[in-house]
Chains A and B, each alone.
Chain A
Amino acid sequence: MTVCSALLSHYRRHPLQLLALALMIVLATMLWTGVSHLTDHARASLAQSEQAIAGQQQLVREDGQAVSVQDFAYLRRQGLCVMPWLEVQRPPPEGRVIGVDPFASACFGSDAPGQARVDALNGEPFLDIAEAKAMVRQGSNGDLSLLVPVDVEADAVPADYRLKDFSMGPATGELGESFLLNLDALGVLVLLITALLVRSVYQLGLVQRRESFTLLRRFGVPATRVQVLLLIEMVALTSVWVIPGIWLGRLLAEILGGGFGQVLESLFDAPLYAVDGGGFVLPALVMVTVVLLACFADKRLLRRLPWLSGRPSVVWFGVPVLGLGLAMVAWPFTLGWLFVGIALVFVAVGLLTPRVLSYVAQWGAEGAGAITLWQRRELAVLFRRLALPVVALQFAVAMVLAIQALVTTFEDTFERWLGQRLEAEFYVEVPEQSAAVDGVRYLAGLSGVGDWHLVQRGKTHVVPEMAGDDAATSVEVDLFSISPIGPLVTGWTLLDAIPDAWEKLATGQGVMVNEQLARRQGYQPGETIGFTLGEQSLALPVVGVYADYGRPDGEILVAGQILPETFNTRFQSLSLNPGTLAMAEIEQGLAAVWNTDQLTVRDNGSIRSLASGVFDQTFLITRAITVLTLVLAGTSLLIMGWVFFTTRAWYYRLLFVWGLSPREVAGQLRWLAMFLTGAVAVAALPLGVWLTWALVSRINPLAFGWSLPMAVYPGFWLEMLVLCLVIGLAISVLMRRQLGAGVPAPAMANVAGGGER
């Protein structure tokens, strides 16, 4: 029998273990591929959309009709450089693709939108316009725009057409990035859990094969040879199982991707373009490397890590590192500094947790009875010996706690944001040629109508310092005017205000500013600010700061009555609740006073429910991924716990020999295992809360300039605790079966040295 067949025969005798190993590799690969695929995909889409919308302009028809191929032909005949841009919405996971005409874009020179891709026309997301047209004919939604170079002037445009900025939606802002940051963190975590997971199964195999190895060594096979063969065995196994894992990961990304695309698209206005799938090589390489590192790195590297050897120096090393990390996060200078601080805190917590738990387990046990002392000591050994999976589960739980809090807070914020923007049930645009005042007069005279107000938007300049009157220091911000100030707005969340703020605003004795502007300019309620309205200059006190939920632009809110006639209103609309009247009736009335038959009316209720639906989907995705990660982390502790308990089976049997009944022994095991995992959950809690705080109160303001309110969810903490206890219960059940299966040989334990402690 060769050494090879001796090694392989193990799996022939333990097919279930081979299956478990394969399953772990497949699951871990799937999860990691899925998450990284999603984030790559989303990030690439964001980058492309930003690149694509950079400073373009388009031609639109004066009559408001959509442009067509005839328009394109006409404009080209007029000698204008026009390029067709056909966006086609494909069903998920493909996302949005764009048909362009490489010949038509030639006159753009090197500035042509999406030029790099157009040259190759490799189909993703840019493809030839003919193909895009074919998709539209097959029933996909298409949207044609006609782009012109940025240097085309307004007077070069033929009559019936005008220039308009071209963008595929508002910039994604940092909300999208912040969301992706979360998923990235998750990806790293999954990789870590993966490593621990594979390691645990591998160790299980080693324990079971310990005797075969001793035999091989006795037969004169050098230990290094066995090592090399084991290495080859793992590489072979991983390579085989990584392939279906990657395939399943793609599938996962596709299933979740539909929802994910929708989320990104609706939430952050980031269209999710089709991006090519990426090869199998990179994920396969990453996974094989991770597996090999997990299984074999400890031979040299991990042995030197203090947490495995458990020397007291860990504390002297860990405590200052923890202090340094906490201080860096508390007083961050830059984002990079902040991330280093977070990493340091995690390293220190990873080093300290097993020792602290081990110490706490023994604390006060000296005076207790002999059995309690045994329990506590045994628990302390478990914490030290299972340091790796214990820390992994702690990290996983902490991460899940933080992400859950962040997503829930996010949802809550979004809800309130929706509430602020969509307070009224209906929203009616004032047609461009019509006078808003006619509509206002009509509504004022209408009995039975609910609350309503007129919104007028424009631009204004604020002068930050009253003393500095030169225009150079003035800042352009959005102006937001409402009249009358009524119940539709007075329910808004004010972050800071002077008494009777809404009254003062309504009577024109003050203005309100949004959070972003207040933060940027350091405005306080009571402070007087100077600003312009058309030709008029005004100085009014700030009476309140309203929450803007992440809106990146500065904005000031005034009562409509202080707007002068000369003010350049860019956009006007009515927000209204129909009250006891039918909306159709009001619509007719407004259409009549404005003398139009094309009234743009938006039903806020349906938008609200659509938006909420999208958020439910975000929730589902984050939940699905975090739960899968937790399950993996739990399995890792379960398997490694079981491996370790197996090496100690003999000692637990000693309890039985010493006269504890099988039920009592099972009770002891249950106590040990559940205390172990329960303590992990408890240790994860402060880390999770701290991480939430770091994300919400440190990363967000530093990276994005605004902060979410921090909320905690004790109900979810309880769920995590229960989950951890269930894992502990599962370990003890497995162990009980193992003990019930027969008399373990003392050789199973490392008796020669008196046992591990």
Chain B
Amino acid sequence: MVASLLTARDLNKQFRSGNQPVSVFRNLSLQLDRGESLALVGRSGSGKSTLLNILCGLEKPDTGSVQVLDEVFEGGTDRQTEARWANLRRQQIGVVFQEANLMPALSLLDNVRLRARLAGQNEDDCRDWLERLGIGELAGRYPDQVSGGQRQRAALAMVFAMKPALILADEPTGSLDRHTAEDVTGQLFDLQARHGCGLILATHDAELATRCSHHLDLGHLPET
């Protein structure tokens, strides 16, 4: 049997609000293969970001297991588990947040280089990535010298330069205007399809969600 790209089984996550445990999701399972895309939708506070964080090891589920490529994680926060997650994030999982994806002290190009280098990729085609995303002439500028949309494009360039197997994007266009948002997501889907990696996209945008091959509605606010 060919292992899927990502499998999550029976995930449970609770937070404490005061003394009350608040359950964000119960027995959640999902699966994603290469080339597939999954839209995470649901009201604000329904647990989209929490789920994405769990899927890349930044947060831990209370119970349940996550498998990425051939690495299986079943709880545990020991140093070795952390190192395995770190290794995956370094080479296989590209994460894009709504904003602040770039190091402020580095130019756009140096940011892409840094990300590529961490992933063990060649630094040579970093400029190409910026050009493909339409910001080649801004390569030498610093994050505070370009617009929010240009910063998000640079963030996508960083993710593609690392040649990941899986991209996790948490409202990557949440702070952009409609036109720019469409532009950026258009490029995201384009490149994802061309390189055949998996994509999980948390979004409030119904139209954007329809462009994904799969959907997961986390529903309403978590129950107490």
Query: With A381-B104, A746-B100 in contact, is A659–B143 under 8 Å at CB?
Result: no
- Are B103 and A654 neighbours in the complex by a CB distance under 8 Å? yes
Once the chains are docked, how many angstroms separate the CA of A747 from the CA of B128? Answer: 31
Chain B positions 112-159 with a Cβ under 8 Å from a chain A Cβ: 113-119, 123, 142-146, 151
Q: A374-B105, A378-B105 are in contact. Are A757 and B144 (CB under 8 A)?
A: yes
Closest to A376 in B: B105
Kindly list chain B residues whose C-beta atoms are within 8 Å of the C-beta of A380. 105
Nearest CB in chain B: distance from A742 CB, A? 9
In angstroms, Cα B86 to Cα A656, docked, is: 7
Contact indicator A370/B110 (Cβ below 8 Å): yes
**In the complex, are the beta carbons of B110 and A755 less than 8 A apart?**
no
A371: chain B residues at CB < 8 Å are 114, 117-118
Contact A751 B144 (CB under 8 A): no
User: Is A658's CB under 8 angstroms from B115's CB?
Assistant: yes
Q: In A702-757, which residues have CB < 8 Å from any B CB?
A: 743, 746, 749, 751-757
A651 within 8 A of B: yes
Tell me whether B88 is interfacial, beta carbon within 8 Å.
yes
- What's the least CB distance linking B141 to chain A, in Å? 10
Instruction: Kindly state whether residue B216 has any CB partner on chain A within 8 Å.
Output: no
Q: Does B82 contact A (CB under 8 A)?
A: yes
Known: A754-B142, A754-B151. A660 touches B86 (CB 8 A): yes
- State whether the Cβ of B215 lies closer than 8 Å to any Cβ in chain A: no
**A660 pairs with B90, CB closer than 8 A:** yes
With A369-B117, A661-B82, A751-B100 known as contacts, the answer to whether A377 contacts B88 (CB < 8 A) is: no
Shortest Cβ distance from residue A14 to the other chain B in the assembled complex, whole angstroms: 19
A755 adjacent to B118 (CB under 8 Å): no
Q: Does B30 contact A (CB under 8 A)?
A: no
User: Which residues from chain A contact B123 at a C-beta distance below 8 Å?
Assistant: 370
Q: Does B212 contact A (CB under 8 A)?
A: no
A658 close to B105 (CB less than 8 A): no
Residue of A nearest to B123 (CB): A370
- CB of A282 closer than 8 Å to a CB of B: no
Say whether A754 contacts B105, CB under 8 Å.
no
Interface presence of B73 (CB below 8 A):
no
Between B59, B89, B105, B115, the greatest number of chain A beta carbons within 10 A of the residue's beta carbon is seen for B105
User: Size of chain A's interface in residues, with CB distance under 8 A?
Assistant: 31
> Which partner residue on chain A sits nearest B112 by CB separation?
A370
CA distance A272 to B1 in the complex (A): 94
Q: Is the CB of A651 within 8 A of B53?
A: no
Q: How far is the CA of A304 from the CA of B134 in the complex (A)?
A: 39
With A and B bound together, what is the CA distance between A366 and B118 in angstroms?
17
- Whole-angstrom distance between the Cβ of B80 and the nearest chain A Cβ: 10
**B82 CB to nearest A CB, Å:** 6
Interface string of B78-116 (1 = CB under 8 A from A): 010011001111110001011111111110001001111
B114 contacts across to A, CB distance below 8 A: 370-371, 373-374
Complex contact A657–B100 (CB within 8 A): no
> Is B118 a contact of A756 with CB atoms below 8 Å?
no
Chain B residues near A377 (CB, 8 Å)? 103, 105-106, 110
Q: Is B58 located at the chain interface by the 8 A CB criterion?
A: yes
Instruction: Assess whether A642 is interfacial by the CB under 8 Å rule.
Output: no
In A555-571, which residues have CB < 8 Å from any B CB?
none
Chain B residues contacting A378 (CB-CB under 8 Å) are 103, 105
Contact at A381–B151, with CB atoms within 8 Å? no
Q: Are B83 and A661 in contact (CB under 8 A)?
A: yes
A650 located at the interface, meaning its Cβ lies under 8 Å from any Cβ of chain B in the complex: yes
**Given A373-B110, A373-B114, A657-B95: A755 in contact with B144 (beta carbons within 8 A):** yes
A662 within 8 A of B: yes
Judging by beta carbons under 8 Å apart, are A370 and B97 in contact? no
A662 to B91, CA, bound (A): 16
Whole-angstrom distance between the Cβ of A656 and the nearest chain B Cβ = 8
Q: Are B87 and A662 in contact (CB under 8 A)?
A: no
Closest-CB distance, A470 to chain B (whole angstroms):
77
Return the chain B residue nearest A756 by Cβ.
B104
Q: How far is the CA of A664 from the CA of B85 in the complex (A)?
A: 13
Q: Size of chain B's interface in residues, with CB distance under 8 A? A: 39
**Residues of chain B contacted by A369 (CB below 8 angstroms):** 117
- Given the complex, which residues of B lie within 8 Å of A660, measured CB to CB? 86, 90, 118
Whole-angstrom CA separation of A662 from B84 in the bound complex: 12
Residues of B within 8 A of A752 (CB): 99
Residue of B nearest to A662 (CB): B82
Main DSSP-derived SS at the A contact region: helix
* Bound Cα distance from A647 to B123, whole angstroms: 30
Contact A757–B104 (Cβ < 8 Å): yes
**Alpha-carbon distance between A482 and B152 when the two chains are bound, in angstroms:** 90
| A370 contacts B90, C-beta separation under 8 Å | no
Among B58, B115, B142, B144, the one with the most A-chain Cβ atoms within 10 Å of its Cβ is: B144
Say yes or no: B144 contacts A753, CB within 8 Å. yes
A757 touches B142 (CB 8 A): yes
The one of B56, B79, B145 in contact with A754, judged by C-beta atoms closer than 8 angstroms, is: B145
Q: How far is A657 from B96 in the complex, measured between Cα atoms in Å?
A: 10
Residues on the A chain within 8 Å of B143, using CB: 754-755, 757
Q: CA–CA, A650 to B101, complex, Å?
A: 9
- Known A374-B114, A754-B151; judge A743-B103 contact (CB<8 A): no
Give bound CA distance, A650 to B142, whole Å: 17
Chain A residue with the shortest CB-CB distance to B147:
A754
Q: Which residues of A contact B58 (CB under 8 A)?
A: 656-657, 743
A373, B99: Cα distance in complex, Å: 23
The answer to whether B86 touches A754 (Cβ under 8 A) is no
Given the known interface contacts A661-B83, A754-B143, the answer about A746 and B106 at a Cβ–Cβ threshold of 8 Å is: no
- Measured in the bound complex, the distance between the Cα atoms of B118 and A664 in whole Å is 12
Chain B residues, Cβ within 8 Å of A749:
100
Q: Which residues on B sit within 8 Å (CB–CB) of A751?
A: 99-100
**Chain A residue with minimal CB distance to B117?**
A370
**Chain B residues with CB below 8 A from A651, complex form:** 100, 103-104
Q: Does B91 contact A755, Cβ atoms closer than 8 Å?
A: no
Chain B residues closer than 8 Å to A756, beta-carbon distance: 104, 144
Q: How far is the CB of B97 from chain A (nearest CB, A)?
A: 6
Q: Using a CB-CB cutoff of 8 Å, which residues 347-382 of chain A contact chain B?
A: 369-371, 373-374, 377-378, 380-381
Asked whether, in the complex, the Cβ of A659 is within 8 Å of the Cβ of B118, the reply is yes
When the two chains form their complex, are residues B105 and A381 in contact, meaning their CB atoms are under 8 A apart?
Answer: yes
State how many angstroms separate the Cβ of B168 from the closest Cβ of chain A.
Answer: 10
Residue of A373, A650, A659, A746 touching B119 (CB-CB under 8 A): A659
Residues of A near B102 (CB, < 8 A) are 754-755
Q: Is the CB of A659 within 8 A of B110?
A: no
How far does the alpha carbon of A662 sit from the alpha carbon of B87 in the complex, in Å? 12
Contact with B along A640-652 (1 / 0, CB 8 A): 0000000000110
Chain B residues in 8 Å Cβ range of A757: 104-105, 142-144
A-contact 0/1 string along B50-65, CB 8 Å cutoff: 0001001011000000
B95 closest partner in A (C-beta): A657
B212 to chain A, nearest CB (A): 23
Nearest neighbor of B89 in chain A, beta-carbon distance: A659
Roughly how many angstroms separate A657 CA and B55 CA in the complex, as a whole number?
12
- Give the complex CA separation of A590 and B101 in angstroms: 94
**What is the CA–CA distance of A110 and B145 in the complex, to the nearest angstrom?**
77
Q: Which residues of B contact A657 (CB under 8 A)?
A: 56, 58, 89, 95
> Whole-angstrom distance from the CB of B58 to the nearest CB of chain A?
7
CA distance A651 to B58 in the complex (A): 15
- Residue from the set A371, A661, A743, A756 with the largest chain B CB neighbour count within 10 Å: A661
**Distance in Å: Cβ of A184 to nearest Cβ of chain B:** 41
Task: Find the residue from A369, A373, A663 having the highest chain B CB count within 10 A.
Answer: A373
Question: CA of A757 to CA of B97 in the docked complex: distance in angstroms?
Answer: 20
Contacts of A373 in B (CB 8 A): 106, 110, 113-114
Other A-B contacts than A656-B86, A658-B115, A659-B86, 4 sampled, CB-CB below 8 A, are: A658-B89, A659-B89, A662-B82, A752-B99
Q: Interface residues, chain B, CB within 8 Å of chain A?
A: 53, 56, 58-59, 79, 82-83, 86-91, 95, 97-106, 110, 113-119, 123, 142-146, 151
Q: What are 13 sample pairs from A and B whose C-beta atoms fall under 8 A apart?
A: A377-B106, A656-B86, A657-B58, A658-B118, A659-B88, A659-B89, A661-B86, A663-B79, A664-B86, A743-B59, A746-B97, A754-B142, A756-B144
**CB-based closest 6 A-B pairs:** A659-B90, A755-B104, A754-B143, A754-B144, A377-B105, A751-B100
